[in-house]
Amino acid sequence: MQSTSQPSSLPSTVAASVAADTSTLSYEQAGVNYDLIDPLKIAAQRAAAATAVSMTGRGFAEVTASRGESAYVLDVGPFYLASIVECLGTKTLVADEMAQLTGRSWYDGIAQDTIAMAINDLITVGATPLVVQAYWAAGGSAWFEDKLRANALVDGWKKACDVCKVAWGGGETPALAGIVEAGRIDLAASCTGIVSPKDRLSLGDHLGAGDAIVLLASSGIHANGLSLARKLVERLPQGYLTEIDPVNHPGLSYGAALLAPTVLYSPVTEALAAAGIRPHYCANITGHGWRKLLRHPIEMTYRIHTVPPVTPVLKFIQEQARQDDHEAYSTLNMGAGFALYVAAEDAERCVEIAKAQGIDAWVAGRLEAGPKRLLIEPLGIEYGSDDLQLR
């Protein structure tokens, strides 16, 4: 997993005077250079894989299939242990600008975003999240002087833990002047959980032709694609205060819409477990957008017949960035934040269970024998295995 970044090079007050730029804005243009990061990632993955031998002969065994998945899984006997650390990314930069523009703190939602980054990845392997640790690295002690903001962060963190029924175990609040920029904060969360009973493990062993793809609604951009979203502000006449849909959502600013907190999906996966439904696989739709649906290494065709409605802020970003559907769906979640791959006969019940948890859901497609590709039929989009190098 990678988060990416690009400083918002103009404050929105300045951005308001910038002439409209009508060219297409891609994710790469927004300042991300994967070529530089990827060799390190590959070296790190190799080195990490080589550490697994330490477990042998001690009653523990790595679940090697979890390497490359969203959380790492270890067999500790009575159940599996799953763990992860996840960074929020640069969404705080939007919150900081919006705080200046609106006079309120947006860090309650930011807290939920940070926890969602960790929880929504951890649950993909079938884990029940149990403990979250907070990592709040500020650019200096002064960050904590803003009591409103600090309290919003604490309150939002607790609320998100309560929604996911996890214990907030503690954490770290370093002041890192010289490393983190003054006035900024680097937020991350680690999460530990267990897969119990062990047949809840959802690493794709049972994934196959005929399985249904159930998509769960997103609330907006979540916490991926923010580099692009921030870059776009330069083009907007009113910056973050630009209304994104005056007709249907009067008063909804771009900034506020971006800051809609990420949906926490663990209440759905826990409700599914309680109902006896065992997803064969799950994908958290984050960076790389819908290409994440192809995440599992299996050679299979994923055919989408039903596309969820696009949330207004994502529609707005797509329009402003002049992206066609092929590019937009390859970058953003476009209204679907999480995918469940389930036995066909469980699909409708998954939708009902998700809705009972307050999260909209759709039976959106199915798996078929065939070359590895994702077909989004209503939109005429196809992604091949070459479009996704995630693992």
Q: Which of 55, 271, 343, 375 binds a second copy (CB under 8 A)?
A: 55
Q: Which of 175, 271, 298, 375 binds a second copy (CB under 8 A)?
A: 175
| Measured distance CA(244)–CA(344) in Å, rounded | 38
DSSP 171-218: EE--B-BTTBPTT-EEEEEEEEEEE-SGGG--BSTT--TT-EEEEEE-
Which one of 21, 104, 148, 162 is in contact with a second copy (CB under 8 A)? 162
Residue 382's CB: how many other CB atoms inside 10 A?
A: 13
Looking at residues 176 to 205 of the shown chain, list those that interact with a second copy (rule: CB under 8 A).
Answer: 176-181, 184-186, 188, 190, 192, 194
Candidates 6, 120, 242, 262: give the one binding a second copy (CB under 8 A).
6
Minimum gap (Å) between residue 302 Cβ and a second copy: 25
**Window 115-144: residues binding a second copy (CB under 8 A):** 130-131, 133-135, 137, 140-142, 144
Which lies closer to a second copy via its Cβ, residue 306 or residue 389?
389
Report, in Å, the least distance between residue 351 CB and a second copy: 26
Nearer to a second copy, 141 or 389 (CB): 141
Neighbours of 62 (CB within 10 A): 18
Among candidate residues 333, 324, 390, the one with its CA nearest the CA of residue 364:
333
Assess whether the previous peptide bond of 371 is cis (omega < 30° from 0).
no
Position among 24, 100, 170, 209 found at the interface with a second copy (CB under 8 A): 170
CB of 185 to a second copy, least distance (A): 7
Q: How far is the CB of 194 from a second copy (least distance, A)?
A: 6
Stretch that binds a second copy, among 29-37, 297-305, 325-333, 347-355 (CB under 8 A): 29-37
Map tokens 């988060």 to a residue.
3
Check: CB of residue 237 under 8 Å from CB of residue 13: no
User: Among residue numbers 272 through 331, which ones bind a second copy (CB under 8 A)?
Assistant: none
Closest approach of a second copy to the CB of residue 128, in Å: 8
Length of the chain: 391
Contacting a second copy within 331-350 (CB under 8 A): none
Rounded Cα distance between 222 and 308, Å, is 16
Angle, CA of 271, 363 and 368, to the nearest 5°: 115
Q: Does residue 64 interact with a second copy by CB under 8 A?
A: no
Backbone angles phi, psi at 384, to 5 degrees: -100, 180
Would you call 233 helix, strand, or coil by DSSP? helix
**Using the rule CB under 8 A, which residue among 17, 58, 274, 380 binds a second copy?**
58
10 binds a second copy (CB under 8 A): no
List the one residue from 17, 19, 23, 40 that touches a second copy (CB under 8 A): 40
Selected from 60, 208, 348, 390, the binder of a second copy by CB under 8 A is 60
Q: Is there a contact between 151 and 309 (Cβ–Cβ < 8 Å)?
A: no
Q: How far is the CB of 312 from a second copy (least distance, A)?
A: 26
Which window, 155-163, 253-261, 315-323, 375-383, contacts a second copy (CB under 8 A)? Answer: 155-163
User: Contact with a second copy (CB under 8 A): which of 25, 27, 80, 90?
Assistant: 90
- Which pairs count as long-range contacts for 28-33, CB under 8 Å and 24+ apart, including other chains? 29/231, 30/6, 30/227, 30/228, 30/230, 30/231, 31/4, 31/5, 31/6, 31/227, 31/231, 32/4, 32/5, 32/6, 32/227
Q: How far is the CB of 124 from a second copy (least distance, A)?
A: 13
Candidates 298, 289, 301, 306; CA nearest to 365 is 306
HSE (CB half, 13 Å, CA atoms) of 342? 26
Q: In the complex, what is the shortest distance from the CB of residue 105 to a second copy, in angstroms, rounded to a whole number?
A: 13
